[in-house]
Structure 1
Amino acid sequence: MAHSDYLPRHVDAELAAALRSSPIVLLDGPRAAGKTTSARRLAASTVMLPRDLSALHTDPERYLRSLPTPVLIDEWQLAGTSLLWTLKALVDEDPAPGRFLLTGSVEPASYGPTYPLTGRSARLVMRPMTVAELDGRGAEPTFLDGILSGTQPVPTAGRVSTFELGWLTRPGFPATRDLPDSRYFLDAYSSAVSERAGEEGRDSARLMRAMRVLAALSGQALPDQRIWDAADINKATWRQYDDLLLRAHLSAPLPAFESNRLKRLTGYPKRFLSDTALALALADLRIDDLRTDQGVAGPFLESFVMQQLRPQVDRAGGSLAHLRTAGGDREVDAVVEVGTRLYGVEVKLAARPNPRDARHLDWFREVWGPRFGAGFVIHTGGDTYPLGDGLWAVPLDVLAGAAGVDSTLARRGAPGGEP
């Protein structure tokens, strides 16, 4: 199969590495995110479900043994959790790496009393596409890759940003790339997700309502009750829907940062959907709404930045959280933790942020001292410049990799590398 038109993904290298070290690799992610396309490039044989379900059910062990490896089992969850026990038996018999690659878009509600692949599999997530991936730069080092390798932003003056608010309405689903109007796809997509509630014995109309509420509350850290009250559902129903949306990889809440050093932090997650364009469609917002009201645009700009950051943090083996004190006097939009290092991120819908916009990052730096790696105020302008000790104003298109990382980062000690 030719792959000349393949758009590299941030997870590709990690996926190949996982196959070299683990007998089973699970690639999860939202439906239509491109999992099958990426996985087939690495597979020697492919079991497509439901197409090959009868062959798989007749004699699963014999059938899977007969296929060249790696064997891709697409939408594996359609075979039921019994498939996992079959795979357990096969890899216990032969634990050679790279035997099976499983892709799925909705995890089963229950794996049974014991999850059978524990200690036998690696698990990765493919998220909706980023700007870099949509532009064919998914195989290049990301902004976070560069920072972690010891480089730092290069100050600029007079640089013109390539970012425009229309980027927020560009879905991260490969099938939408050439569509003249992606809203029809997004409406059908959200309807398909809500129908999943019906398949699990729940009310699809209520799930759609809950999804619209989640979209409208993008960027807010709030208790679950705000959501179930706004969606006119009860606590038990919301918990079922919340579980389903997490299993479908459409809800992507940012957990609250936890630390014994910092007291009185809020424990509420910050609410996001995994794809900003889908959130805008569910909230019934268009590009003109964003352009005319910064109060509306701000939370969705933050959602878009998190969409660019998630796969970068995944690739670095890190975690992503938000920080807000209980009184709201201190807040950091995102805290990236990689190993023992912490990086703060603030998002500003402004073309020229100033040191005051970095004041919470400066406080965060003082609290964490040697563990603090750097702080970044991500903005919509074009220039990169220092805002303080270890603090930088960084254009959103630079963070997103639209310009390529090599031209925007320099090694420490290189000309222009220190503020």
Structure 2
Amino acid sequence: MTYLPRIADEALAAAIDTFPVVMLDGARAAGKTTSAARVVTSELRFPRDLAFVQADPGGVLADEIRPVLVDEWQLAGTELLWAAKSIVDADPAPGGFILAGSVEPEAYGPTYPLTGRSVRIALRPMTRRELEGGGAEPLWLERLLAGQVATPGRRHPRFDIGDLAITGFPAAARLAGSADWLRSYAGTIAERSVEDKRDPVRVNRLLRVLAECESQAVPDEYLWRSADINRVTLAAYEQMLTRTHIRADLPAWESNRIKRITTYPKRQYVDTALALALARIGPDQLRRDPALAGRFLESFVATQLRPECDRLGGVLHHVRTKGGEREVDLLIELDHGLVAVEVKAGVEPRPADARHLLWLREQLGDRLLATVVLHRGEATFELVDGVWAVPVTSLWT
């Protein structure tokens, strides 16, 4: 099959040319093996090669021709990291190993073996740009800051709200029954949690509650009460879901310039179609309920921008005052400034849709590099002074 370029490919290639070890993290079935295999010379795949490596981790790693891909490295445990450390300490040349993992170990022991010897890169489920074959093209954020997105009169295709159900997991992206695949995928994670002495029934219940809270800044108490668990269990389960890379909660932005900002994260899955499948929400329900559609569209936009933020060294946040009077859906923090994005499920945004962005600009001044209202319509135009209405589909078309 033809390889579809990933936004992370450039960072992965640069990392393997710079660091002895690259830790490639991401949810299972996100495409880590396919991407990493293109830039290595030899491969060790677990569980296929697990017994072979466990018999002599240091010897096996040293004998492989570098760079070496070790796929699902966590199955060998942290002993493999210590073996890699010993090798790169003796020969710290770049391009030693790519260690791809889909489950972060619960503990590394008293110290992390690869401190100062490795870099981490996230490979998330595919964006629409990547699914359409445009993963190697300039980033939307780069084009926005260069003035190439906010172009009066430019039109893009209208976004069908039903397309939120298109998953970014490559194996399921083209399946007609992807919702069943996604529920089975999440169920497997819940069942495997038994190994961690956790109840798969309760994990499944929490998965459903989190999906129903997609893109909402709800307190922990709401989650553990809704899932019929206690706060200690919630903390353990959420840690497990974070370690499997299927959660990508949107942290609240904090600033001394703005008082009374909430600290609750927005609850989000790493893939919007996964959240829809777990909540059992279909396209018809989204079309009937604009508020519901707005929440999942916001989640979808976040999934499209996270890999771009990763590439640019940025961080994705949301902004919300404690009383909820002011809220900005997405705030992207880059080294040289901030980008603010509101997401609207309608096709004809109005000046009132920019009011929270104008408030934020008053607070932040020149730190705010761009302000955008993303909408499902076709037209690009200046909504109010300095705030542009831009189609969601501009993210990939």
TM-score between both structures, scaled by the size of structure 1: 0.93
Work out the CA distance in 2 between the residues paired with 1:196 and 1:253: 22
Identity %: 53
The aligned residue for residue 128 of structure 1 is 125
- The CA deviation at 1:317 is 0.7
Work out the CA distance in 2 between the residues paired with 1:54 and 1:194: 26
Distance 1:181 1:152, change over 3 A: closer
- The CA deviation at 1:161 is 2.1
- The CA deviation at 1:166 is 2.1
Aligned length: 397
Does the CA contact (< 8 Å) of 2:158 and 2:376 recur in 1?
no
Deviation per residue, 1:133-164 (Å, 9 max, x gap): 1111111112112124454411116x352421
- The CA deviation at 1:103 is 0.5
- The CA deviation at 1:363 is 1.1
The aligned residue for residue 195 of structure 2 is 199
- The CA deviation at 1:295 is 2.3
Work out the CA distance in 2 between the residues paired with 1:267 and 1:177: 34
- The CA deviation at 1:196 is 2.4
Q: Is the aligned partner of 1:212 residue 2:208?
A: yes
Does the CA contact (< 8 Å) of 2:156 and 2:391 recur in 1?
no
Runs (5+) with no aligned partner, structure 1: 404-419
Work out the CA distance in 2 between the residues paired with 1:390 and 1:337: 19
Work out the CA distance in 1 between the residues paired with 2:274 and 2:266: 17
- The CA deviation at 1:284 is 0.8
Q: Is the aligned partner of 1:275 residue 2:260?
A: no
Deviation per residue, 1:84-121 (Å, 9 max, x gap): 11111111110000100011111111111101111100
Task: Determine which of 351, 361, 367 is the counterpart of 2:347.
Answer: 351
Does the CA contact (< 8 Å) of 2:158 and 2:391 recur in 1?
no
Q: Is the aligned partner of 1:315 residue 2:321?
A: no
Work out the CA distance in 2 between the residues paired with 1:247 and 1:348: 31
Matched ranges for 1:29-68 at <5 A: 29-68=26-65
Q: Which amino acid in the other structure matches residue 338 of structure 2?
A: L
- The CA deviation at 1:219 is 1.1
- The CA deviation at 1:63 is 1.2
Q: Which amino acid in the other structure matches residue 297 of structure 1?
A: A
Work out the CA distance in 2 between the residues paired with 1:285 and 1:302: 15
Does the CA contact (< 8 Å) of 1:275 and 1:307 recur in 2?
yes
Task: Determine which of 143, 165, 180 is the counterpart of 1:184.
Answer: 180
Does the CA contact (< 8 Å) of 1:373 and 1:390 recur in 2?
no
Work out the CA distance in 2 between the residues paired with 1:279 and 1:256: 20
Deviation per residue, 1:367-407 (Å, 9 max, x gap): 111111011101000011112333110100002x1x1xxxx
- The CA deviation at 1:316 is 1.0
Matched ranges for 1:161-172 at <5 A: 161-172=157-168
Work out the CA distance in 1 between the residues paired with 2:59 and 2:193: 35
| Structure 2 counterpart SS, 1:337 | strand
| Structure 2 counterpart SS, 1:103 | strand
Q: Is the aligned partner of 1:263 residue 2:259?
A: yes
Work out the CA distance in 2 between the residues paired with 1:168 and 1:281: 11
Does the CA contact (< 8 Å) of 2:85 and 2:114 recur in 1?
yes
Does the CA contact (< 8 Å) of 2:316 and 2:333 recur in 1?
yes
Runs (5+) with no aligned partner, structure 2: none
Task: Determine which of 273, 285, 288 is the counterpart of 2:284.
Answer: 288
Deviation per residue, 1:311-333 (Å, 9 max, x gap): 11111110110000111111100
Matched ranges for 1:382-401 at <5 A: 382-399=378-395, 401=396
The aligned residue for residue 406 of structure 1 is none
Work out the CA distance in 1 between the residues paired with 2:126 and 2:263: 29
Higher mean C-alpha displacement, 56-65 vs 66-75 = 56-65
Work out the CA distance in 2 between the residues paired with 1:98 and 1:389: 49
| Structure 2 counterpart SS, 1:212 | helix
The aligned residue for residue 410 of structure 1 is none
The aligned residue for residue 28 of structure 1 is 25
Higher mean C-alpha displacement, 141-150 vs 333-342 = 141-150
